[in-house]
Structure 1
Amino acid sequence: MPAPTPRSTAVALLDKVLGEGRLLSELSAPLSRLAAPDRARALRLASDTLRGMDRADRLLSRQLRKTPQLHVMNILRLGTVELCTGGDAHGVVDELVSLVGTHPRYKRLRGLVNAILRQMAGDAGKPWKDLRIPRLPGWLRDPLVSAWGNGAVSAMEKAQFSGAPVDLTLKPDEDPSKWADRLGATVLPSGSLRLANPGQISALPGYSEGAWWVQDAAAALPARTLAPKAGERVLDLCAAPGGKTLQLAAAGAIVTALDISEKRMERVRENLARTNLSAEIVVGDGLRYQGGPFDAILVDAPCSATGTIRRHPDLPYAKDGSEFGALIALQTQMLDHALTLLAPGGRLIFCTCSLLPDEGEVQVEQALARHNGLRTDASALDLPGIDPGWKTEEGGLRLRPDYWPELGGMDGFYIAVLRQD
C-alpha cells in the first residue's frame, strides 16, 4: 500500500465524516502516519472540501450521469474544490487519479476521475465563483432562521464558507503590540491576536516559551468576563481543552479544572506545563463533584457546538440535531449543580458555544425563574471590543459568526454572569 499523503488522508477523513457521521476531532488514526505539517495540510484539505461541498456537488452533477460510490465521490469533491480554488492542475489530477487507481474496487474508474477532474481544471470549473454560498443543512438552518432571521443566517453561512483565522490569547503580562509584530498578527478589539495564515502553530515564536495559546477570540471572553482575582478559588467546569483554565491560572487564581475526559485533560496538563501555569486537575463527572465552595465558577456547558461551524465544517455533516434535547437537559442540571458549589456572594459564568437560544438565553431565563435571588450582572459584560448591541434582554451576551465580518468573524457563543444574592 502506498505511503499516505495529505490528499489521500483528506479523502479518508471525508469518508469517515460523510460515511460514518464522525467528527474530524475524533479521527486521529488516519492522521497518525503523517508528519505535523502534512497533518495540518490534510485537515485543511478536508475542511476546505466540506466547506465547498455544495458547490462541488453542483458542478459535478453537470458532469456525472449518476453519483459514484462515496469514496470516489469524495476524491472528485476534493479535486474539484482544489482545482476551483487555485490548486495546481497537474499535481491534483495526477495524484487523485493514482489514488483511485490503487483501490481494488474502484481502479476501473480511473478514466472517469481523470476526465472529470481535467474538465474541472478547464471550463467546467469556471462557474465556481458564481455559485451561491453553500447553505447549512436544514436540521441546523431551520432553527437558526427561526431564531435570528434569514439575513443573519445567510451572513453566518458566508462566515462559515470563508473559514476561520487562528486567534491567540496572550498571558496578561505580555505586550500585544510586540507579539503582533513578531507574529505578523492583528490585535483584535477584545485583545486577542489574529493570524490569517499561521502555518505550523508549534513552530511560531512564543509557542515553546508558553507566551500564548490558541483560543478563538469569542472563546476568550467568558474568562475575561469572570475577571478572576489573584488568590480567588475558581472552578473551571468542563475545562477541556483548557484555554479558559490557562486564562484563569494566568490571572493568579487558584484553579480547579474539572472534566470527564481523561484524554482531553491530558492536553490541558500539557498546555499548563508549556505555559508554566498551574491548576488542580480533576477527571470526573461534573454533576457528582462536591468540591468548593468557590469564589467563582465558569461553566462552559456541553452543547451542540453550532457556534463553531466556521472552524468545524464537519459538524453540519456529522450531526443531525437529534442530541439537542439531551444536551439542553444536561445544561440545566449542570447549571443548577454548579450553583450549589458557589460561595455566598460568588459569581458564576454560564456559557455555551451554541447559536441556539435554547442553549443560551432560554437556559438563563429559566434559571432566573427557578432560583430566588439569582440575577444577571450585565455590567460585567462591559469589556473592550464588546458591542452594546450584543447584550440580550435577560442580561447575557450573544456572539455570532457574522459579527466582526471585516476582521474575519468570531465563534458563536452565549455568555451570562450570574450572581446569587
Structure 2
Amino acid sequence: MTQARATSPNDGIAARRAALHLIEQATGAQRLLSESIAAGALERLSPPDRARAQRLATQVLRQLPRADRALKPFLVKQPPLAVRNALRLGAVEIMEGAAAHGVVNAMVQIMSKGKRTQSYKGLVNAVLRKIGEQPGEAWAKLPAPKLPNWLRGPLVEAWGRKPVEAMEAVQAQLPPLDLTAKGDAAALAATLGGELLPTGSVRLREAGQVSALPGFAAGDWWVQDAAAAVAARVLDARPGERVLDLCAAPGGKTMQLAATGADVTALDLSEARLARLRENLDRTGLAARVVQADALEFDETGFDAILLDAPCSATGTIRRHPDLPHAKDGSEFGALIALQAEMIDHALGLLKPGGRLVFCTCSLLPDEGEVQVEEALARHPGLVNDREVLARPGIAPDWIGPEGLRLRPDFWAERGGMDGFFIACLRPGARDG
C-alpha cells in the first residue's frame, strides 16, 4: 500500500488510509510504528487525522488476534495482506462501537482506490456488514490476544503460564496515562482529577489531548510510565551530586534527576532524540548538560551516580506499543544482550570511588535483567548488588528478587497495570573499578 495521501479532513478516509499504511508496515515489513512515523508516514495529514490514524493503528495491532477470530467464520480463505488489514481495521472499529455503515462505506471506498485491492471491495463490504450484525457482547467474549510464540515461550518459561496470561489481559486494554510531577504529585493529582499512585506517579484514566491538560505548557509535569519513573527514584540523586544519565533521550529520567538539584549530564547517541530531550528540558525549566555521543566511547569519569537505561528488546512496553510483537521476531535480542553487558562494564569504570550504578531495562526477559546482574557480579569481584535501596514507597516486597527489582504488566492490573521493567543498583567494591 502506498503512503497515505490527505483527503477531506471530515470523511475519515485519510486517517483510515494512513492507519492501514502503518498496520501494513508493522505486519508486512516488520517496521515499528515509530519508525514509519519518523519516515514521514503521517506528515501530510492534519493534526486531528494524524492523531486518529495513530490511535487506530495502535488499537488494531493491540487487538489483531481478536479481530482475526471475529473475521474467521466469514472468510473461506485469507485475502491478501492489504485486504486482511482493512478487514481487521473495520472489524475493530465496528466491534468497539463505531457506526457500522460509516466504517463499511469508508473501507469499501479505500479498497476501490487501490489497484491491488479494488477487486476485493465486495468481499470487504459483505464481511464487515456481517461483523456489524454481531451482538454487542461478542467482542468482549473473545479471549485476550496472546503474544506471538517467539516471545510467549520464553516468558512462560521465565514467569509461568498464569502470570503471562495476566500480562496479556492487561496488554489488551487501553493503558492509562502516567505523569511525573516536577513538584507536588498529590497537588497535581488533585488538579487533574487523577490517581496518586503508591510510587509517586499520577495516573489519568482518560486524558484526552495531553498538551491541553493544565500544567503542560508551564512544565509542571511530563508523561512517563509509573514503572519507568521508579529507576530514577532508586538512584536517589542528591543536590550537587554529579550524575550521568546514559541513553537519556527522550528525557523523562533526566528531568527526574535534574529536579533533585543534582548536576546532571544527559548523554544519547541520537541527535534527533536529544532534540526532544532539549525541548522537554526547556518546557519544564530544568537544567542538564546534554551530550551527543556513543555511550561506549564516553570516557569522562568521577560521577557519583550513573543511570543506565540500556537499549533492550522493549518487551515490557507492549501495553503501550502493541506493534512490537508484530514488527519484531527476537532475532536481534542476542546483540542487544551483549551490548548491555558491555555498557554495564563501561559505566562502572566512569564512577568515582563509592559511586553507584542503577542499571535498568524495559524488558520482560531475564536475559536482559536478572541474568545481566548475575554475570556482572561474576565479572567484577567486589561488585555489590545493593538490594536495600530497591525498597521504595509503593514497591511490594515480593517484587524484589535476588538480582533486583522486577516490575511486570500484571502488577496493579486493577489499576491498569504498568510497563515491564528490571532495575538493579550496583556499587563497585574495593577490588572492582
TM-score tier, shorter chain, comes to over 0.9
1:78 aligns with 2:86: no
The aligned counterpart of 1:131 is 142
The aligned counterpart of 1:417 is 425
Give 1:108 deviation, angstroms. Answer: 2.3
Give 1:2 deviation, angstroms. Answer: 5.5
Contact 2:31 2:327 in 1 (8 A): yes
Partner letter of residue 77 of structure 1?
A: R
The aligned counterpart of 1:30 is 41
The aligned counterpart of 2:408 is 400
1:346 aligns with 2:355: yes
Distance (Å, rounded) in 2 between the aligned partners of 1:375 and 1:163: 39
1:51 aligns with 2:62: yes
SS at 2:57's partner residue? helix
Alignment partner of 2:128 out of 117, 125, 131: 117
TM-score between the two structures when normalised by the length of structure 2: 0.94
Matches within 5 A, 1:84-99: 84-99=95-110
1:385 aligns with 2:418: no
Per mean C-alpha deviation after superposition, the further-off stretch among 175-184 and 342-351 is 175-184
Give 1:389 deviation, angstroms. Answer: 0.5
1:263 aligns with 2:282: no
The aligned counterpart of 2:307 is 298
SS at 2:257's partner residue? helix
Partner letter of residue 210 of structure 1?
A: G
Give 1:129 deviation, angstroms. Answer: 2.2
The aligned counterpart of 2:180 is 169
SS at 1:46's partner residue? helix
Give 1:158 deviation, angstroms. Answer: 0.6
Alignment partner of 2:168 out of 157, 160, 167: 157
Distance (Å, rounded) in 1 between the aligned partners of 2:259 and 2:46: 32
Distance (Å, rounded) in 1 between the aligned partners of 2:146 and 2:134: 24
The aligned counterpart of 2:119 is 108
Give 1:125 deviation, angstroms. Answer: 7.4
Alpha-carbon displacement from aligned partner over 1:84-108 (angstroms, at most 9, x marks no partner): 1111212211211111112133222
SS at 1:344's partner residue? strand
Partner letter of residue 60 of structure 2?
A: T
Partner letter of residue 288 of structure 2?
A: A
The aligned counterpart of 2:10 is none
Partner letter of residue 415 of structure 1?
A: I
The aligned counterpart of 1:320 is 329
Contact 1:83 1:125 in 2 (8 A): no
1:67 aligns with 2:78: yes
Give 1:134 deviation, angstroms. Answer: 1.1
Give 1:292 deviation, angstroms. Answer: 2.3
Alpha-carbon displacement from aligned partner over 1:166-225 (angstroms, at most 9, x marks no partner): 100001xx2323322322211111110111121111111111100000000000001011
Distance (Å, rounded) in 2 between the aligned partners of 1:107 and 1:287: 52
Distance (Å, rounded) in 2 between the aligned partners of 1:6 and 1:181: 35
Per mean C-alpha deviation after superposition, the further-off stretch among 292-301 and 121-130 is 121-130
Distance (Å, rounded) in 1 between the aligned partners of 2:361 and 2:58: 23
Per mean C-alpha deviation after superposition, the further-off stretch among 120-129 and 98-107 is 120-129
Alignment partner of 1:181 out of 186, 190, 200: 190
Using a 3 Å threshold, how does the CA distance of structure 1 residues 420 and 2 change in structure 2: closer, same or farther? closer
Contact 2:6 2:45 in 1 (8 A): no
Partner letter of residue 76 of structure 1?
A: L
1:252 aligns with 2:269: no
1:241 aligns with 2:250: yes
Aligned length: 418
The aligned counterpart of 1:287 is 296
Stretches of structure 1 that go unaligned for 5 or more consecutive residues are none
Distance (Å, rounded) in 2 between the aligned partners of 1:48 and 1:291: 44
Distance (Å, rounded) in 2 between the aligned partners of 1:91 and 1:177: 43
Distance (Å, rounded) in 2 between the aligned partners of 1:389 and 1:358: 20
The aligned counterpart of 2:365 is 356
Give 1:408 deviation, angstroms. Answer: 0.5
Contact 1:6 1:41 in 2 (8 A): yes
Contact 2:344 2:359 in 1 (8 A): yes
Per mean C-alpha deviation after superposition, the further-off stretch among 86-95 and 296-305 is 86-95
Contact 2:301 2:349 in 1 (8 A): no
1:226 aligns with 2:226: no
Distance (Å, rounded) in 1 between the aligned partners of 2:212 and 2:164: 36
